[in-house]
Every structure is written in structure tokens, then in C-alpha cells.
Amino acid sequence: MSELHHECGVAAIYHLDGDEVSPLCPSQGPEHASRLMPRMLLDIQNRGQLSAGMTTYNPNRNQLIDNYRKLGSVSEVFRLNHRGKCEALMREYAGRAAIGHVRYATCGQEDRSYAQPFERHHLQKHKWFSFAFNGQLANYPALRDKLLAEDDHHLARTTDTEIIMHEISRELGGGRRLPLIDVMRHIATRFDGAYSLALVNAMGEMLIARDPLGIKPMCYAIEGPLLAAASESVALSNLGFRKESIKSLEPGTAISVVDNKISIERFSDNPRRGHCFFEWIYFANVASTMDGRSVYLSRKSLGEELARMETVVKDDDTIVVPVPDTSKAAADAMAYRLGVPCLEGLIRNRYSGRTFIEGGANREAKAAAKYTPLPEVLSGKRVLLVEDSIVRSTTMRVLIDKIREVGEAREIHVRVACPPIVAPCFYGIDMSTIGELFAPPFLHGGAEASEETFAAMAAELGADSLRYLPIDSIARAIGKPTDELCRACLTGEYPTPWGQKLYQVALDKYESKAEDEGGRTYEAAASGP
């Protein structure tokens, strides 16, 4: 699924004022806690490679909160390969609090002005803030239209991040000063979609929040005077936080730092849950644990599910080959259960970048350059090729051709550790139309996949056979009840009203062949659910 676009990653760090110093803090002292931010962002770099940035808070400088963001990877943005330039950046932006962001563009342009965090200057310190956001608001069209219809408002960018900034500003602009947790309570009633965010203001106050459904992940840890939070737990464990200190932030809950004190409060009473299952299947670092479930163990369980379904006759020339890297845990588990070798028949060029970064017409060429088949492993073999998902099929088509022609494999049987993707995502994964997906033309009217369907899909890809996992296997592998997972892209059933509305728009465009007009689904949606 390397051609699939992802969203973003968020991180935050805060060293409380006082005599106690965290042993995890940089040797320069608490005023340099912000030095931990690039390290945290490196650990969630898998969530976005287009841009990176951070905002730091330091009450001892004129620029109380200072924002630094650029296009590029974390190493490029923070000059981690140049000791002198990196040190100069760390000194210039030193602070006892910081928020950070890595981005892939699910909406908006690929230029620096879209890089996060977003900062809003104001004369009053509590209205001067910066924030970072992961996710997507499904009701962006309605929020945008409402905002532009009021007075002489103007939006400089086509992104929901700017909408969120203005909505926060609106709450802070009243006659009385509103606590940050109350700001979240108010804006949550207007937002339909997925979001996790981190905010810091010029008062030195911080807010870390997760959407009421828990679609997007957020983890945190508190040890002594140090608070840290990130989209994934691996960023916290690699800082040195103890396993028992690392927790997932509950949906509809926010952590705030006000007057040098940490508090955790609910801002939404919505009892429903909708965790994105793709986090466990593909997006998250395999070393992460989210909402009490290990990513690695989930992928291992998916491989065991594949093994239980396998019908191909196994012989001494049968091997399992993962598509690097996110399919490896599933492939290993599948091979172990089947009693056949799991071999690296595909070597990933780790310096080619992720295919989706290029996008558009270059995607197929980049996919071809990304993997090298090994004839020494593949030649004459019956290959069970394990992939975490097939979205657009660009990468899979290229791989099958290369494995057959360059690798000289005898047979190629594709095994997908996910059900067919039949519907778009409107919560932060960049697959906004039905026509761009591989599976829908084969599953007319939401019909269940049959042997004939799988055979037609395999023929289209150039494989000898193809199998997907059934939908009910996802909940078993992740260890969450079905009604606590967002599986909209598998079922067409969305957890929010605007998600369902956009799906109907997408269906209408697909069935009327209007997708050729271009544009994302939410851009074509009319206001009002």
C-alpha cells in the first residue's frame, strides 16, 4: 500500500517550572526541553515527509512563542546532519515547551505556507497561539462557506487547518477570557471529522486534544515535571519514558497545562468510538502501541488469519514474500503457520522515498524504482506475495510484473492482509474518490467477493490468484469490538453525518461518471448535511 497517501503526525513536550529536573531532559536544562522535539518527530516521520516544524515557548525572549517550519524531512528541516547548524537552531528556538508536526498534504498545496504548526499573532498573550493538527474535517465545506459568509472574512489557504485556527480564534475573541478546555468544548460541537491537535500560547499554556470518536491516535506520558505527547507511543518510549507511564489519550479528552499544572479533562460526552483500523494495519510504526493494542501483534494476527484461509498447494518451492516493510509481520506469521519459508524476495530502496510523496503520473515510475526483486530467491518459486492492502493497485501491478520478469517466479499468489477498499476516506487519508480505488468495479452494489470476483481481480493485476481477508477479521486482529472501529472505507458506513454525506456525493459522481471532472469529493459537496 505504499502508494497510499497519509496524513500527519503531532508531538508536544512540556517541562514544568520548578526545582525538579527530569532525567529525560537535555543536559542544557529544562529551558532546552524543546531539543527533544526533533527526536520525537523522527519517530513519527512515517506519518508525513513533506514538511516538518515546531513552535517553542520561552518567557525569557521577546518572541514568546516562536515558530519554525520548512519543507523537507525532519533531518533536512532541523539540519540534523550538520552539527553546527542544528545547534544554532536548537539555541535560537530553545524553550521549556514545544509542539511539533510532520505533514503529508491531504489537502492544500505543497508549499511552505501549508507547513505546520500554524501561528496566529495577537497583542493579547492568551490570543497569541500556535497549533499543530492531524486529521481532516469532513464538514470543511460547510465551515468554510459559513466563515466566508460572515462580514469580510477571508481564507488564504484551501485547508481545514486554517479553518480550525479561525474557529479557535473565534472562541478566544469574546469579551471574557475562555479556558482552553472550554474552547475545545465549544469547537467540538461544530467539527465533524477526525483530529488530534496540540496548541501552545504566549501565556505558556498548552492543550493536547483527541477527537471524540478517537479516529486519530494520541499518546502521552507524564513523569515528574515532564509531559510529552505524540501521535504514536514509540516517540515517547524512545525518549526514555517507562512503559507503564505511556497511555493513550481517551477520545474526547484533552490534556492542558495552565499555571504550571497538568490536568486531564473530557470536553465531549460522545460515547461512540471510531478508531481508524488502518493505524494498526499500515500507518503506525510497528513498535507502537495504541489504545492498548500493539501494532506488531495486530499485524501478526492478520498474518495468522491469512494462513487459516490459504488453499494453495504447498511444496518445497513455495515461499512467502512480504512487500517491504509494513507487510513483514503479517508475512512472517503466515509463513510460520503454513510451515513454509518467509524470504525477502523484494529489497526496498530506502533512499527512494515513499511513493505517495511524488503522486500523480510519477507514481508508477517511482514504484518501479522502489523495489528490487531477487532472482536468487524468486526464480522457479511459487510465491505467496503478502501485502497490507491494495488501494489504487499501482504498486502491486508493478511488483507483479517485476517479480515475474526480473525475479523469474513460477507463480505469484497475492495475499492481502486487509479486506477490499471500496469507499473513500474523509478523515485524513488521501483517497477521496471511488474511481481511484481498485476494488469497486469488481464489487458492484456492495456485493461480497466471490471466487469469480477474486479471479477477475487477479487477472487484472497479472497474478495467478488473489485473496483478501474478510471484514470480520479486522476486529479480531486488532482486539477491538467492531462498533469501536471506523471501517468506512471497507463498508461505506461512516461514523459521522458529514462522512456519510460525502460518501453519497462520491457515489453520485462515480455512478454518473462525473469523476473525470477532477477534484476531491469534499470540494464538490454542497453545504449542510
Query: Catalytic residues, which ones?
Result: 8
DSSP for 197-222, written as a single string:
EEEEETTS-EEEEE-TT--S--EEEE
What is the 8-class DSSP label of residue 477? Answer: H
Q: Supply the Cα-derived Rg of the chain in whole angstroms.
A: 23
How far is residue 173 CA from its own chain's centroid?
32
What pairing do the DSSP bridges indicate for beta strands 261-266 and 253-258?
A: antiparallel
Where are the strands (E) in 35-148, listed by range?
A: 51-57, 65-71, 97-103, 118-120, 129-137
C-alpha cell at 31: 529551558
User: Rounded to whole angstroms, how far apart are CA atoms 114 and 71?
Assistant: 9
| 56 bridge partner residues | 66, 98
User: Rounded to whole angstroms, how far apart are CA atoms 115 and 104?
Assistant: 9
Contact 36, 47 (CB under 8 A): no
What is the 8-class DSSP label of residue 342? Answer: B
Please choose, from the candidates 133, 9, 14, the residue with its C-alpha nearest in 3D space to the C-alpha of residue 65.
14
Residue labelled with grid coordinates 459559513: 146
Residues in contact with 459: Cβ distance below 8 Å, sequence separation at least 6, in sequence order:
none
DSSP for 367-407, written as a single string:
HHHHEEE-HHHHTT-EEEEEES--SS-HHHHHHHHHHHHTS
User: Rounded to whole angstroms, how far apart are CA atoms 329 and 386?
Assistant: 10
The strands making up 226-230's β-sheet, listed across from edge to edge, are 65-71, 51-57, 97-103, 8-15, 226-230, 219-223, 246-248
Q: What's the longest Cα–Cα distance across the chain?
A: 77
- State residue 297 phi and psi, 5-degree precision: -65, -35
Residues in contact with 325: Cβ distance below 8 Å, sequence separation at least 6, in sequence order:
348
C-alpha cell at 423: 469507499
Contact 116, 132 (CB under 8 A): yes
